[in-house]
Amino acid sequence: MSAPARPATVGIDLSCWTNQRGYGRYTRNVVRALLECDGGHRFVGFGDQGVTARTDLPNGLEVVAVPQSVPPTQAAAANGRRRVTDMWRMTRAVARARPDVMFFPSSYSYFPVPPWTRCVVVIHDAIAERWPKLIFPTRAGRIAWTIKSRLACWQADRIVTVSGAAAQGIQRYLGISAGRLRVVHEAADPVFGTAEPSVEREREVRACYKLPADLPLLLYVGGLSPHKNLGALIVAFARIAGPRAGGDRVPAHLVLVGETVREVFHSCYLELREQVRSLDLDDRVTFAGYVPDADLVHLYRTAACLVLPSRDEGFGLPVVEAMACGRPVVASRAGALPEVLGDAGLLVDPDDTETFAEALRRILDNPSLAADLGARGAGRAAELSWSTAALKLLAIFDAVAPTRDRSARN
């Protein structure tokens, strides 16, 4: 096949740039890496006024501001809708700019592109298709997601996902052939591998979030959505640290990091608060809310371990963040977590709260085990990089560029 006659113009949907969950973290890191690694493409980003006015967009990225009545990451919420007129404005902006390839870092904020534009869409997982009622509280929300997801899959020349497990789910639940799928792993944000340890800073962070200064912390990071299975974690924690644990009670404190007020995804925060109260754990569990990275890195470092009890994960970025900070991980044997964690943590059935409790106890009671798992995790996290992800994406963009054979689409 002949190479493109000129550097391809790559359009990028920036709608998720301000999202505080995994979609936003992925978008920010991968776009920065693309600009840092590449010298032969032109990159044009499309976003609403709130995104394009930000000062943290990378140098070299041309930006097109597209008026939106509601920011896409809010309008595409679990109980929201994007207006057809807003999506049409995005489509028209892309048509005017005429990129050779349009890149969507997440299908979450997908909008139709002109038929002459090649399209690469990242679908992070098939959780919404496998567990629809845990993701969308209403039937209307599920229908809207299905329409958007199916349209994105139909229009995409290539679909990128972030793990082998996610690829299997996408093939099974979305009917995508292996020929159209590409796996490109994620990585920890550089801050989690470069921040210097600081006992004083860790003490300040504990104080800031009103965490006990002298108790081991069991840390969860992520959304408070039903599929994250936090109810099972709270039950497991109660088994070892609650007032009914008896003489085997372990001195520890559970910290749940995740948006509690401005969450746009389906949340069960109020139910979790009531569960904590009913188990008499109010003095042992803290809902920390959203925690910025400058604090989160030190919260990781001061924690005894990260706990991720999810029923499914397309990748599990908090696992890699914790490993980059040298912390051990206890996670459910679900989705991509075994693939990402490997032998650097303890894996447990997500429904087995007794075994989950025992795994937490093992970490708390065995410092040498915790240290060994932390060291293994740091090594695994170092093998993943955003620059590697960016180079793989650039190869995908070139493979679908207009001068390539359109018949390569399967």
pLDDT, tens only, 18-48: 888 888 999 999 999 999 987 789 999 999 9
Q: Based on the fold, state whether residues 195 and 305 are members of the same structural domain.
A: yes
Compute the average pLDDT of residues 256-263. 87
Q: Which domain holds residue 55?
A: 9-187+385-408
Do both 271 and 322 map to the same domain? yes
State the burial class of residue 106 (Cβ atoms within 10 Å of its Cβ: 0-12, 13-18, 19+). buried
Q: Where are the alpha helices (DSSP H) in 136-223?
A: 139-155, 164-174, 191-194, 199-208
pLDDT reading at 285 higher than 70: yes
Together in a domain, 198 and 251: yes
Judge if 140 and 209 occupy the same domain. no
Q: Residue 20's pLDDT is what?
A: 82
Per the structure, the count of domains in the chain is: 2
End-to-end CA separation in angstroms for the chain: 17
Q: What is the dihedral of CA 353, 357, 358, 360, to 10 degrees?
A: 140
Whether 2 is covered by a domain: the verdict is no
Give the pLDDT confidence score for residue 263 in this predicted structure: 73
In this structure, the answer to whether residues 241 and 338 fall within a common structural domain is: yes
Query: What rounded mean pLDDT belongs to the chain?
Result: 90
Buried-exposed string 187-204: b where 16+ CB fall within 10 A, e elsewhere: bbbeebbebeeeeebbee
Quick check: is 4 in a domain?
no
5 pLDDT more than 60:
no
Q: Put the strands of the sheet holding 285-289 in their side by side order.
A: 285-289, 253-257, 217-221, 305-308, 329-332, 345-348
- Of 215, 258, 259, nearest in space to 237 by CA: 215
Same structural domain for residues 341 and 402?
A: no
DSSP state of 2: P
pLDDT, tens only, 89-118: 999 999 999 999 999 999 989 999 999 999
Structure tokens at 368: 């040498």
Residue 217: HSE in the Cβ half-sphere, 13 Å Cα cutoff: 27
Strand runs (DSSP E) across 30-137, as ranges?
Answer: 42-47, 62-65, 101-104, 118-122
* Statement to judge: residues 268 and 338 lie in one domain: yes
Position 6 scores a pLDDT of: 54
pLDDT higher than 50, residue 261: yes
DSSP labels, 207-230: HHTT--SSS-EEEEES---GGG-H
> Are residues 344 and 403 part of one domain?
no
Summarize pLDDT for 304-328 with one digit per residue, the tens: 999 999 999 999 999 999 999 999 9
- The proportion of the chain whose per-residue pLDDT surpasses 90, expressed as a percent, equals 74
Q: Is residue 96, in this structure, part of any structural domain at all? A: yes
Residue 1 lies in a domain: no
- Measured CA to CA in angstroms, residue 217 lies from 89, 205, 283, 317 at distances of 47, 12, 13, 19
pLDDT band at 265 (very low <50, low <70, confident <90, very high): confident
Same domain, 144 and 195: no
Domain CATH code at residue 154: 3.40.50.2000
The reported pLDDT for the residue numbered 76 is 61
Q: Report pLDDT digits (tens) over 148-175.
A: 899 999 999 999 999 999 999 999 999 9
Are 177 and 227 in the same domain?
no
313 in any annotated domain: yes
Residue 122 scores a pLDDT above 50: yes
Quickly list DSSP for 73-100.
Answer: HHHTSTT----HHHHHHHHHHHHHH--S
154 lies in some domain: yes
Residue 78, pLDDT score: 54
pLDDT reading at 214 higher than 70? yes
Asked if the model's pLDDT at residue 347 lies above 80, the reply is yes
CB 219 within 8 A of CB 299: yes
Residue whose structure tokens are 């890699």 = 320
62-65 and 329-332: which strand pairing? Answer: unpaired
| Predicted local distance difference test score (pLDDT) of residue 4 | 45
Residues 132 and 80 in one domain: yes
Residue 75: its pLDDT value, please?
61
pLDDT at 284: 95
pLDDT at position 334 is: 96
Q: What is the pLDDT of residue 383?
A: 94
**pLDDT(291) > 90:** yes
Residue 3 lies in a domain: no
**Residues 205 and 176 both lie in one domain:** no
